[in-house]
Structures are given as structure tokens and as C-alpha cells.
A and B are shown apart, each in its own frame.
Chain A
């Protein structure tokens, strides 16, 4: 009863982003980092749903493999099971965290997503997240309409969309790449000026999120 784990077979993805051969191990490592960033970032980061999907495929494949095993009580089976549970936890916690962020301000999420599209950057929301955001926004405005806005004078019958207020949020960040170069942070002594910081590899900083936002998206900095 040989165990043929699908994890050993290398995956080949259609996505352009993953045109080179990637091992599930790497995907998982990337997922973990993404999850950690998402948890620590004050706003939504660009979606990495592809990673989630790949891992879900992996889980399914592995579950089928386990299902084929006759002796279900071996150590290896339970190690596999626990690993699947761990991966399941990361992916669902990642999705959960993002949904919470969307729920806290669905309109803003949609606006940001569209803005990024126009600028030609990577997607902020995945398709299903976008759908969720729209539905949530609609439901929310319906609720407000029925309960409050109806009874308001005409001039106030509009829901303002609050903008996410992340400009001055400080985050802990660790430099993970070798050549991050310099980062500009606002200078509190001169409101128009900037201070340039050198980001040494492996160094840790308490720093305004906006200054490192791009670096986080590029994967050069890990939030803590």
C-alpha cells in the first residue's frame, strides 16, 4: 500500500504569474507570508486568491489519497491530516480576515479596486470578493434606506462613503530582501518634507504603513 502523495508532483499552473514551476511547498510558504501580512496590514492588500485556490486543490488531492488508505490509523495518515487542517486554517483565516475588512467598508473596497484597475495594478479583490463587496454594500444601503434615510430631509438622503483612514497607522515591519533601498517617511518637523531612511536587510522598524505599502505588496517587507 504505497502512498503516492500528490505533494511530490510538481504543479504546472496556467496562470502567467506562475508560469515557472512552483512547488506546493513554495506556495504554502508564500501563503503563510501573505496571510501574516494581511493580518497585520490596516487595509486590504491585493488579492492572492490564486494561492488559496492552489492550496485547496492540494488539500482535496491529499484527502483523496488519504481516503484510499486502508490502514487509517498509521502515524503518516494523522500527520497528513493535521497538516491539511493547518493549511485549511491558514486559508480560511486569510479569507475571513479579508472579508472582515471588506465588511467594515465595502464601498471603499470597491472604489479602491476600481482605482487600481485604472492604474493597471494587480487586482485588489478577487472576483468572488468583489461580488461579496457589492452585495454587502447593496444590502447595507438598503438597510439604511429603510430604517433611516427614508425619514431624512431631502438634503440628507445620501449616504456618505467614508474613506479608509490608514495614513498614520504605524506597523511593525521586517526587511526581508537584500536590496530594498531607501524609504521616504513623512517628516513631522516639516510638514511638506520627507525623511529618507535606509532599509538594511533583516532590520525591523516601526514605521507608517503608507511608507512601506508598496514594498509589502512587492514582497520585500514582511509585516509583523
Chain B
């Protein structure tokens, strides 16, 4: 069942009062981590013991359930669990699940399972959900069976009566078939596309506020979680801005430095400001030139993957009045005035309305939540050789180090920025550049297909952040080369190496035309993959990811997959 509001009563207090042990099942993404940080802060305040289990796919959730069939638990599933039926995943019968998940749509069985499963949803998104009525999708289909049994037993009834019965049965069956058909259409429409709702951490922050337990730290966690959704391209800039304006505003003023009576003196408290920021990843921890090279906007504008690219970029810089000298040195090393000037120019050029949160702590430099979100996300997703719990912990420590003044922590964070984050951006750019230069993107009927021929670190290929960003970047870059490339989706395949050699990671992005239209960034790629999986002869597909539009495919089945997908897409468009 869905809980729309009053989460404090309906969710938190129930856990608090309950005698069951509290188990947090946390998906390994930044929003989930931030949500966990807030929730565990609340639980600690109330001395409620809890355990955290990090999960990365449906199979691990299933395993947790299988291992604890006998136990009575309060499961809190964070950013996982809403889109598949938990009943079918064999949730232990004596346990209760609360699902705080930003994946949409909800699985219909989770919605109409009344006692055991509770889905937390925002009241504002209820109309968006368009959940079908109970009667139209679920029906007890036992009574007509009983009827037929009775018929066999009662042999003495007359011919007319028997005919009557048969006729009634036929009508019933026909009604049943019609209902069945309707049901299928309704569900088809309901499940057609997947999208992301507002990040879970925002919901939790609001709940913490209701309990009067918001601190600068929890506010910062929320800022990072919210920005991670933006950096992973899960939510659109419109939705992001709307959340900032509608839901974050009450908190923004609370931790502003000027609100604290401290005439301009630096104290050691964490302060959070909200302000405009260039949508240019990591530039403040890099030099401008490198950051612009790999940024989607500048890269597409200058087509810097072509031979003329370098000239174009110089040309653009000259136009903007920014010297090469300025762009090639570490951004932080520029004098403040010059920095502001350059940022102003670029902001105008990019015509951006992006604003984000900045954390300041004593004399440590200002950090943008957006950059921290990238660092945390990559720490969580790589390297895959680490156990999932270790990655969860290192993500946690990176998140914490953004708000402690400890030297070692800062070094660690900076190291993440300069090594992993920058490298990921560069690999992403190189992949796109190579794809376009070597014409690796081919039109395949109703969609474009990109098959990566270079080998990329397995770590990156398995990271949602990398996949979504690269695919999104690629489709835009591809469209920029020639007119009329905005109406077809792009399917991207990356070969895995190492332990999982022989498998491909497949993902896809919606056509640009629809991306621009839809502020929820709905996608039907996941649905298409699902249908391909159901086709015969069955392909070897593993769809264990919480995001249905990322799957693994056995390399040998590649050609058949491509054909099947074509059939599916042609079927939908007709």
C-alpha cells in the first residue's frame, strides 16, 4: 500500500514502537547512501538498533529474504524494491517492509498488498503515478471454478438448466477474457515507461524536519543526494530546480552563514549556501580547459572530437575573451576576481539556470554538492573488485570527509576528484569521440545502435553513472553531427572484461526529441528489454539491476538481441 503523507506517524513511529529488529536494505547509489545517513541519524537519536545491508541487484535482495524467512524484521528498502513484487521475492511472512524508492512505476502488487508492504510516495506525484484501480487489475478468480465443480456433481438437473449453466459459463468466460484483455492494456500502459521520482533523501529530510531534527549535516547529505540524481541524469534540470525551490527552500536559509550572529568571523561550523553554479563538472578542482574539453555542452558546441575541434575551442575561447593561460592553470590558483569574471562569462555562454548547494567549513575551501555527489557515486560504484559493503563504507567516508575539516579526509576527497572523477569524465568523452569518429553508431531500423569495440575498464562499464552519462552524451553528440537524428533512441553495448568476459552491458537512452519534452525523463527502454527477454528462443539476459534499462547480455546472443529489439520497437511504434 502507498503511504502518501504523515511519514512520521505511518512509517517512523511504527518502526520505533515495533519490537522487530530494523534492517536497512540499501541500494548502492548516492541518493540511497544519503537517505541512509539521515535515517540512521534519526534512529540513533532514538536509540533504535539497526543493521545495514548494501545490495546491488534483485538477487541479493532475494537472498536476504531467503536467509531470514523465520525472522520478524522491519525491512526498510532504500532505492530498491518498489518496481518488482516483493511478495514474489518471498519476503518473510512475519516481516514488514517499508520501501523508500525513487524508481517508478511501483509494481502493482506492491501497491495493493495491504498489510506487509508500505511504499512511501510524495503526495505531489500521485497524479503522475496513474495507478490503475484495484478491480481492473486484480480479481479473485476462484468462484467460477467452484461453479463448474458443482455442475459435474449435480447430474439430476434438467437439460434446460444445464444449457443455462453452460451459457452463463460461456458469458462469464467471455467477460473474463475481455477483462483480461483490458487488464493487459491497462498494465501495458502502466508499466510502459520507467522514470525517477524526487530523490528519497529529500523525503527523509522533510520527515527529519517534522521531528525537529535537521542539522547542517543532514541538510548537506540531502544536497549531495539531490545533486547525485542530477549528475546521474535521473531527473531533469526542471525537476531539480523545482525540488530546490519547493522543497529545499525552508532549509536553505537555516544554515546560511549570515543567519548566525557572527559578524563575519570564520567559525568551525558547517554552513550551506545555495547559489548559481556552472554546469561544468569538477571545474573547480581541475583546469578550465580540461573540464570544458569533456563537458557535454562545450564538446558538442566545438565538436572537439573532429580534427578541427582544437581550433574551434580556441576560437570559442577567443570569442569569450578568456585567455588560454587562464584555462590551462588550476582553476583554484586563479585570483578570486578573475575566477568570478570567467565564471560569469561562461555562465552567460552556457545560458544555464543551474544552482546548487555549497558547503563551507572554517577555512577549508568551498565544496559544491554537485562535485561531492560525483565523487561519492564513483566511490560507491568502483572498483567492483571491492566487496559491496566496503564500497558502501568508502562512499560513506567520502561523504563524511566533505564535512570534516580533517586534513587526511580532505586529501582523500581531493584525490577522488583528481583521479577517479576526472578519469571517468575523460573516458566518457573518449568513448563518445571514438564512437563518432569511427562511425560506430549505426542506424538499425527504429533505433541507433552503438557497439563499443574498445575495451573500457570493467569498473566503469558497470557503473550507472558512467553508462547514463556516456549514453546521454553520445546521443546528443551524434545528433549534433547531422540533422534529423532526434527521433530514434540509442542502444549502447559495452563489452565486459575480466571475470565477466563474454558478457555485454546494454543500456539505452530515449530519443532527444522526447527528452526535451518530458520533465520526468520517462524511458521505455527497460520495458523493451523486458519484452526481448520474454521472446523465444530465450536469450541469455541477466536483468538483475534495479534499473531495468541496464542489463547484461551474453555476447553470442548479440545479433539475435539486435533483431529482437528491432521487432519490439517496430511493434510499439505501430
Contacts and interface: CB of A to CB of B under 8 A. Distances in A.
Do A and B interact directly, with beta carbons closer than 8 Å? Answer: yes
Interface of A: 71-73, 77-78, 81
Contacts of B17: 71, 73
Contacts of B48: 73
Interface of B: 16-17, 46-48
A202 B47 CA distance: 41
Nearest to A72: B47
Contacts of B47: 72-73, 77-78, 81
Contacts of A81: 47
Nearest to A70: B17
Nearest to B15: A73
Contacts of A73: 16-17, 46-48
A73 B16 CA distance: 7
Contacts of A72: 47
Nearest to A78: B47
A71 B48 CA distance: 12
A71 B46 CA distance: 11
Nearest to A71: B17
A77 B16 CA distance: 14
Given A71-B17, A73-B46, A73-B47, 7 more contacts: A72-B47, A73-B16, A73-B17, A73-B48, A77-B47, A78-B47, A81-B47
A78 B46 CA distance: 8
A67 to B, nearest CB: 13
A78 B43 CA distance: 13
B142 to A, nearest CB: 42
A77 B46 CA distance: 10
A71 B17 CA distance: 7
A147 B46 CA distance: 56
Nearest to B16: A73
Contacts of A77: 47
| Of listed B17, B46, B47, B48, residue having the most chain A CB within 10 A | B47
A53 B47 CA distance: 28
Contacts of A71: 17
A78 B16 CA distance: 14
Contacts of A78: 47
A80 to B, nearest CB: 11
A73 B46 CA distance: 6
A73 to B, nearest CB: 5
A72 B16 CA distance: 9
10 contacts: A71-B17, A72-B47, A73-B16, A73-B17, A73-B46, A73-B47, A73-B48, A77-B47, A78-B47, A81-B47
Contacts of B46: 73
Nearest to B46: A73
Nearest to B19: A72
A175 B47 CA distance: 41
A151 B17 CA distance: 68
A16 to B, nearest CB: 41
Contacts of B16: 73
